[in-house]
Chain A
Amino acid sequence: MDEFIRIEHLNQRFDLSEPWLARMIYRRPKKFLDAVDDVSFGIERGKTYALVGESGSGKSTIARMAVGLLTPTGGRVLIDGQDLHDGSLSVAEQRRIRQRLQMVFQSPYASLNPRWRVGSILAEPLRVFRLVDGPQAEQARVHELLEQVGLSASDARRFPHEFSGGQRQRISIARALASKPDFIVCDEPTSALDVSVQAQVLNLLKQLQRDLGLTYLFITHDLAVVRVMAHRIGVLKSGKLVEEQATEKLIESPQSDYTRMLIRSAPRIHRAAS
Chain B
Amino acid sequence: MNGEKSAWQRFLASDFFYDFKRSPVTIVSFVIVVTLILMAILADLVAPTNPFDPGSLNLMNGFTPPMEPNAFTGETFLLGTDDQGRDLLSAIIYGLRVSLFVGLTAVILAMFIGVSLGLLAGYRGGWVDAVIMRIADIQVTFPSILIAVLIFGVARGLLPPDLRDELAITVLIVAIGLSEWVPFARTVRGTTMVEKEKEYVQAARLIGLGSSQIMVRHILPNVLSPVLVIATITLALAIIAEATLSFLGVGAPPTEPSLGTLIRIGQDFLFSGEWWILLFPAVTLLALALSVNLLGDWLRDTLNPRLK
Is A218 interfacial (CB-CB < 8 Å)?
no
What string of 1s and 0s marks CB contacts (under 8 Å) between A110-151 and chain B? Answer: 111111100000001100110000000000000000000000
Given A98-B208, A110-B198, residue A115 in contact with residue B222 (CB < 8 A): yes
Determine whether the beta carbon of B218 is less than 8 Å from that of A113: yes
Q: Are A114 and B222 in contact (CB under 8 A)?
A: yes
Give me 4 other A-B pairs in contact (C-beta within 8 A), A113-B200, A128-B209 excluded.
A94-B208, A101-B206, A111-B199, A179-B207
What is the size, in residues, of chain B's interface with A at 8 Å between Cβ atoms? 14
For residue B132, CB closer than 8 A to chain A, the reply is no
Among B202, B203, B205, B209, find the residue whose CB has the most chain A CB atoms closer than 10 A. B203
Q: Is the CB of B199 within 8 A of A124?
A: no
Query: Contact: A106 with B202, CB < 8 Å?
Result: no
**Interface residues, chain A, CB within 8 Å of chain B?**
64, 67-69, 94-95, 98-99, 101-103, 105-107, 110-116, 124-125, 128-129, 172, 175, 179
Prevailing SS type, chain B contact patch: helix
Q: Fill in one digit per residue for B171-215: 1 if any A CB lies within 8 Å of its CB, else 0.
A: 000000000000000000000000000111011111111000000
Q: How far is the CB of A60 from chain B (nearest CB, A)?
A: 10
Question: Can you spell out 6 A-B residue pairs with CB atoms less than 8 angstroms apart?
Answer: A98-B208, A103-B203, A113-B221, A113-B222, A115-B221, A128-B207
Q: Which residues of B contact A115 (CB under 8 A)?
A: 221-222
On chain B, the residues within 8 Å of A112 by CB distance are 200
Complex contact B205–A69 (CB within 8 A): yes
Task: Give the shortest distance, in Å, between A167 (CB) and chain B (any CB).
Answer: 16
Query: Does A103 lie within 8 Å of B200, measured CB to CB?
Result: no
- For A115, the closest partner residue in chain B by CB is B221
Assembly CA distance A128 to B205 (angstroms): 11
Which residues on A sit within 8 Å (CB–CB) of B203?
103, 105, 111, 172, 175
- Chain A hits for B199, CB < 8 A: 105-107, 110-111
Q: Report the minimal beta-carbon distance from B47 to chain A, rounded to whole angstroms.
A: 42
A135 to B207, CA, bound (A): 20
Distance (Å) between the CB of B192 and the closest chain A CB? Answer: 14
| Nearest opposing residue in chain B for A101, CB measure | B206
Alpha-carbon distance A115/B206, docked complex (angstroms) = 19
Expressed in whole angstroms, the Cα–Cα distance for A110 and B218 within the complex equals: 12
CA distance A111 to B199 in the complex (A): 4
A128 to B207 Cα, complex, angstroms:
7
CB distance from A97 to the nearest CB of B (A): 11
Give per-residue flags for B216-232: 1 if the beta carbon is below 8 A from chain A beta carbons, else 0.
Answer: 00100110000000000
Q: Which of B206, B208, B218 gathers most chain A CB within 10 Å?
A: B206
Candidate in A99, A115, A116 with the most chain B CB atoms within 10 angstroms: A115
Q: A141 → chain B, closest Cβ, in Å? A: 15
